[in-house]
């Protein structure tokens, strides 16, 4: 299908993407979506005490059902009196869920009352490059997007607005040398830009299309818009008036990036942090504060010794998702860190505030053509690989270190190289190195891309 898509003329590629976009719309915003959105919107006016009441009402049922109907929890909770878990402080009576369990035996976390074949399956690699499978239902996906669209509404935006997106999907043939580096999804009113063709020689075509399209908001990886903003600043190109707002996600948004992007576009940036595991949601409000959406998940911030972190400390994120009872993740070590805060936000929302998200910081791969490519985690979706790391110490070469999983073969390596070429182009040498393990960085966090280039 992919090979056929690349051979189609642009107009037929747009029709193909629009058809797929209509399918996605039905999953995310079909029947019952509006009910879910209305429900979570009503939570914005609740007090902290009321929100805690909603948390625990959902969690008590989640925990009881998990112990009874989920094989993993039936085993690890068999000697734990779950009726004694009555608050956040009591959560520490429950064991932590390691990502390795989710990676190696996801089926053990599925509610046995569900037929696995009828569930939606989401493939994700997460920040560690380690492939994961997440099971849910269409209603769970609708709930998830109700929360995301509440975040947009808090920033004065709507998902139905005309938007432009810079993401990780390959929507333009990798070897295409000239514009258009974008395709249009009609039913989503979404102009999808390729993040993999951004370089000095092409950026002005991106700017011209953005100016012509005039999206109400831009949804992007921080690195993509930062590249455009830096170029415009260097060459004296005015980007103001192109869009009313900007949302960023999937990468760490650094303060310098935010300042450059906001200055160049003359529009506010609101950042969002979430996970395909649907176990945490953190988003900035219009005041710029990061709020933990506590009706989406119970989130603990822990020191290395497992004790509760206090304001100002860097803490590990441990989360318990509240929207996906099909595959409950209870006290899940997602692998990222934040800086804790005890501040109150003037926006009036009772959701807890954190100072900043410090997970997901990575270098980028720079190709011989000058493209800056980050967020390579989509490459490994569906492949039998435990972990991956990308090393670059020369402009014309990158080494991929892989920890193979059961089912790995020489053919797997070739397919991974093909996927990388779609993002990195044909000019760079790609070497595959198999290793038994990849050393973790500071805070036991694997750094996916390591570059020594200046």
Q: What are phi and psi of 399, to 5 degrees?
A: -110, 130
Report the pLDDT averaged over residues 271-290. 91
Question: Which among 247, 281, 274 has a CA at the least distance from the CA of 261?
Answer: 247
Q: How far is residue 22's CA from residue 15's CA, in Å, rounded to a whole number?
A: 11
Q: Quick check: 443 pLDDT over 60?
A: no
Q: Which two tokens stand for residue 213?
A: 């399209």
Q: Take residue 284 and report the two structure tokens written for it.
A: 């900035």
pLDDT score of 324: 97
Q: 126 or 343: whose pLDDT is higher?
A: 343
| Mean of per-residue pLDDT scores for the chain | 89
C-alpha to C-alpha distance for 229 and 236, rounded to whole angstroms:
10
391-419 residue pLDDT tens: 999 999 999 999 888 889 889 999 999 98
pLDDT tens digits along 216-234: 999 998 889 998 999 999 9
The pTM (predicted TM-score) of the whole model is: 0.82
Tell me which CATH homologous superfamily contains domain 31-152+273-357: ANL, N-terminal domain (3.40.50.12780)
Three-state SS letters, 102-135: HHHCHHHHCCCCCCHHHCEEEEECCCCCCCEEEE
Please give, one letter per residue, the 3-state secondary structure of 225-242. HHHHHHHHHHHCCCCCCC
Residue 360: pLDDT band with limits 50, 70, 90: low
Q: Is the pLDDT of residue 441 over 70?
A: no
Q: Tell me: the pLDDT tens digits for 138-178? A: 999 999 999 999 999 988 899 999 999 998 788 998 888 89
More confident residue, 322 or 405: 322
Please tell me if the domain spanning 2-26+156-267 has the same topology as the one spanning 365-451: no
Angle at 332 between CA 326 and CA 333, to 5 degrees: 150
Q: Which pLDDT score, from 0 to 100, does residue 170 have?
A: 85
CATH architecture of 365-451: 2-Layer Sandwich (3.30)
The second-level CATH assignment, the architecture, of 2-26+156-267 is: 3-Layer(aba) Sandwich (3.40)
Task: Give me the DSSP letters along 57-112.
Answer: HHHHHHHHHHHHH-HHHHHHTTTS-GGG--SGGGGGGSPPBPHHHHHH-GGGGS-T
Q: How confident is the model at residue 119 (pLDDT cuts 50, 70, 90)?
A: very high
Q: What are the structure tokens assigned to 300, written together?
A: 């603990």
Least trusted range by pLDDT, from 11-20, 207-216, 291-300, 357-366: 357-366
pLDDT at 295 over 60: yes
Buried b (16+ CB within 10 A) or exposed e, 96-121: bbebebbbeebebbbbeebeeeebee
User: Where do the structural domains in the chain lie, given as residue ranges?
Assistant: 2-26+156-267, 31-152+273-357, 365-451
| 117: Cβ contacts below 8 Å, ≥ 6 apart | none
**Would you call 343 helix, strand, or coil by DSSP?**
coil
What is the per-residue pLDDT for 130? Answer: 63
Mean pLDDT, residues 251-259 taken together:
86
Please give the helix or strand (H or E) that residue 153 lies within, else none. Answer: helix 138-154
Tell me what percent of the residues of the chain surpass a pLDDT of 70.
96
Residue among 278, 297, 283, 293 at smallest CA distance from 56: 297
pLDDT at 442: 46
């Amino acid at each position: 299908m992919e090979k056929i898509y690349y051979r189609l003329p642009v107009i037929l590629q747009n029709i193909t993407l629009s058809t797929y976009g209509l399918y996605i719309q039905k999953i995310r915003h079909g029947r019952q979506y509006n009910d879910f959105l209305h429900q979570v919107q009503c939570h914005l006016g609740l007090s902290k005490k009321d929100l805690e009441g909603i948390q625990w009402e959902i969690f008590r049922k989640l925990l009881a059902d998990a112990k009874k109907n989920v094989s993993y929890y039936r085993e690890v909770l068999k000697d734990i009196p779950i009726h004694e878990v009555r608050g956040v402080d009591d959560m520490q009576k429950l064991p932590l869920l390691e990502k390795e369990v989710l990676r190696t035996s996801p089926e053990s976390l599925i509610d046995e009352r569900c037929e696995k074949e009828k569930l939606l399956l989401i493939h994700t690699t997460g920040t560690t490059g380690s492939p994961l499978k997440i099971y849910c239902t269409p209603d769970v996906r609708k709930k998830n997007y109700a929360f995301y669209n509440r975040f947009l509404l808090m920033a004065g935006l709507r998902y139905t607005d005309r938007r432009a997106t810079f993401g990780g999907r390959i929507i333009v043939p990798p070897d295409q040398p000239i514009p258009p580096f974008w395709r249009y999804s009609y039913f989503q009113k979404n102009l999808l830009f390729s993040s993999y063709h951004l370089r000095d020689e092409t950026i002005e075509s991106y700017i011209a299309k953005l100016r012509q399209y005039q999206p109400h908001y831009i949804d992007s990886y921080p690195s993509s818009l930062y590249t455009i903003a830096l170029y415009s600043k260097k060459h004296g190109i005015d980007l103001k008036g192109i869009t009313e707002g900007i949302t960023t996600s999937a990468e760490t948004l650094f303060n310098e990036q935010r300042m450059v992007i906001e200055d160049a576009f003359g529009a506010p940036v609101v950042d969002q942090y979430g996970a395909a595991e649907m176990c945490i949601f953190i988003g900035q409000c219009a005041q710029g504060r990061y709020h933990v959406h506590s009706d989406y998940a119970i989130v603990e911030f822990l020191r290395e010794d497992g004790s509760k972190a206090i304001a100002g400390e860097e803490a590990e994120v441990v989360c318990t998702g509240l929207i996906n009872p099909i595959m409950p993740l209870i006290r899940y070590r997602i692998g990222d860190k934040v800086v804790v805060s005890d501040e109150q936000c003037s926006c009036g929302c009772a959701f807890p505030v954190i100072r900043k998200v410090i997970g997901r910081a990575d270098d980028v791969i720079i190709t011989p053509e000058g493209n800056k490519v980050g967020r390579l985690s989509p490459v490994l979706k569906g492949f039998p690989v435990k972990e991956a790391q990308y090393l670059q110490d020369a402009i014309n070469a990158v080494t991929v270190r892989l920890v193979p999983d059961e089912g790995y073969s020489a053919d797997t390596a070739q397919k991974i190289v093909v996927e990388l070429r779609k993002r990195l182009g044909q000019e760079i040498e790609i070497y595959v190195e198999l290793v038994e393990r990849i050393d973790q960085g500071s805070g036991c966090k694997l750094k996916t891309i390591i570059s020594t280039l200046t």
